[in-house]
């Protein structure tokens, strides 16, 4: 019951229909949401409940409306160009069925975090795999 309360308290999640099962400190979340941000917010809310050992997420992201991977990639690249803290020339973006993979080598960890943060709320994003490597000596 505490996990459900924690998830419902999240401002973004008050209308989301997520099934929550708890057994021996293990939480299983199932359901469908319309954005990656909602999925990660539910995960984080469950993880922050005292006594929870593990969170298993089986939440599907089904965005409202149809959007192609090419549309999404164009928006990601434009966002990267408009953010001073993201070295867009060092990051390769691939998208397949709304699953975004970021790769490349950059100098600072905050740049890696910024790349995920900027795109995670875009409509159509199901998963962000941030495989960017932080290296002090990037050429």
**Domain ranges across the chain:** 2-61, 69-134
Return the CATH fold of 69-134.
3.30.1340
Question: For the residues 19-34, what does the mean pLDDT come to?
Answer: 87
Tokens of residue 68, six digits: 């192609």
Asked if residues 46 and 3 have their Cβ atoms less than 8 Å apart, the reply is yes
- What pLDDT is recorded for position 115? 95
- State the Cα–Cα distance between residues 135 and 139, nearest whole angstrom: 10
130 contacts 90 by C-beta, under 8 angstroms: no
Q: What is the pLDDT of residue 86?
A: 94
Report the half-sphere exposure of 11 (CA within 13 A, side-chain side): 0
Residue 116, pLDDT score: 94
What integer pLDDT is reported at residue 103 of this predicted model? Answer: 97
Question: At 22, phi and psi to the nearest 5?
Answer: -125, 130
Mean pLDDT computed over 84-108: 94
Nearest-10 crossing angle of helices 109-119, 69-82: 130
Nearest to 32 by CA among 17, 54, 11, 51: 17
131 HSE (CA, 13 A, CB side): 11
Identify the CATH assignment for 2-61 out of 2.40.50.1070, 3.30.1340.30, 2.60.200.20, 3.40.50.300. Answer: 3.30.1340.30
Continuous segment of H or E residues that includes residue 60: strand 54-61
Mean pLDDT of the chain: 85
Within this chain, domains 2-61 and 69-134 share the same CATH topology: yes
């Amino acid at each position: 019951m505490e996990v459900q309360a924690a998830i419902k308290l999240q401002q973004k999640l008050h209308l989301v229909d997520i099934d929550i099962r708890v057994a021996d400190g293990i939480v299983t979340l199932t359901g469908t949401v319309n954005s990656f941000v909602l999925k990660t917010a539910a995960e984080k809310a469950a993880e922050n409940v005292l006594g929870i050992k593990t969170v298993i997420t089986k939440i599907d992201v089904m965005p409202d409306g149809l959007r192609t991977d090419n549309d999404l990639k164009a928006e990601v690249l434009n966002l990267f160009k408009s953010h001073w803290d993201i070295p867009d020339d060092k990051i390769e973006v691939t998208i397949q069925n709304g699953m975004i993979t970021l790769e490349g080598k950059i100098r600072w960890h905050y740049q890696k975090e910024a790349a995920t943060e900027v795109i995670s709320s875009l409509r159509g994003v199901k998963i962000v795999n941030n495989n960017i490597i932080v290296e002090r000596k990037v050429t």
